Amino acid sequence: MKSKLLIIQLTIFMLFCASYAKAQTLGAGISVDSQDNLVINAPLYVYDRYGKNPKLELAPSSINYEVYIGIFCGQSVADFPIEFKGEIKNGFLSLTINKPDESLLNDAMYFFDPTPRSYFTSGYHVQIGQLNFKTGNGKYTENDKRILIYPNRNERISFNKNVDIGTYYFDNDYCEIFYSLGEVDITGKVSVLGLYGWKGEFNIHLKKGWNIVSTRYVYDDIKGDTETRNSINLSSDAVWLLLK
């Protein structure tokens, strides 16, 4: 009887250890639990790009919003299906995102268009999706506030109100969260001829599950725009940002 009880206890302990071992931390208050759900618990920073003296600062406790999370799979922003809800409470971001349903994902080849298939060393057919975070009422309106991961809260920020792209440094230098059903590898530099020209530099290696990708856009009317994407591990300076 004691031996059977001991076996049961050992089995439960081993299952617990296996479950615990599967959990992982991605940085910036982001973790993946044993059920492959994404859990986010992090302080929030805010940036009022239209303020008199815009600066990055910790969100005050008076900030409270509902947060809506959609899965971007290659359509326009207006077509993001809203799948999850969370909240900003007392200036703190808190939400849990279930592993996305396969019906919400799309081929990596379609998602990273116009990258040629030859730049995929593997996984051009693998189903992936990208998370999109916003405040609002569940619909996409001009009053929405975008929530993103900013890679370095200590980086010096230049802001020019005379530039139409008022979000130049934040909207074009951020990190994205992807979910992938398999391994995707994209490496190389792409140049696409067109009216303005576009260049892409990729060093993306998505594993099965949740992934972080750094995205940076540089605009140049003469040389053409450049998009750089790299798979990364978030640094200790990465923060969640509410862009006002």
Average pLDDT, the chain: 78
Please, which residues bridge with residue 66 across strands?
87
Length of the chain: 244
- Rounded to whole angstroms, the Cα distance separating 148 from 133 reads 7
User: Model confidence at 76, in pLDDT bands (50, 70, 90)?
Assistant: low
Which one, of 203, 193, 201, 202, lies nearest residue 224 by Cα? Answer: 193
Report the pLDDT value the prediction gives residue 170, as an integer from 0 to 100. Answer: 60
Q: Is 88 helix (H, G, I), strand (E, B) or coil?
A: strand
Per-domain residue ranges of the chain: 24-243
Confidence of residue 213 (pLDDT cuts 50, 70, 90): very high
Residue 128 has pLDDT above 90, yes or no: yes
pLDDT in tens, 102-121: 888 889 988 787 777 888 99
Nearest to 92 by CA among 64, 112, 55, 69: 64
- pLDDT for 154 beyond 90: no
Distance CA 45, CA 187 (A): 33
Per-residue pLDDT tens digits for 11-65: 444 444 444 445 688 889 999 999 999 999 999 998 877 777 777 889 999 988 8
How much is the pLDDT for 157? 55
User: Does 210 have pLDDT greater than 60?
Assistant: yes
pLDDT-derived band at 4, boundaries 50, 70, 90: low
8 sits in the region (left: phi over 0; alpha: psi -120 to 50; else beta) called alpha
The answer for residues whose C-beta is within 8 angstroms of residue 103's C-beta and 6 or more apart is none
For CA atoms 219, 70, 159, 175, give the dihedral sign. negative
Query: Side chain identity at 237, as an amino acid letter?
Result: D
> CA 66, 67, 69, 70 torsion: positive or negative?
positive
What's phi and psi for 36, nearest 5 deg?
Answer: 70, 25
111-115, 198-202, 228-232: range with lowest mean pLDDT: 111-115
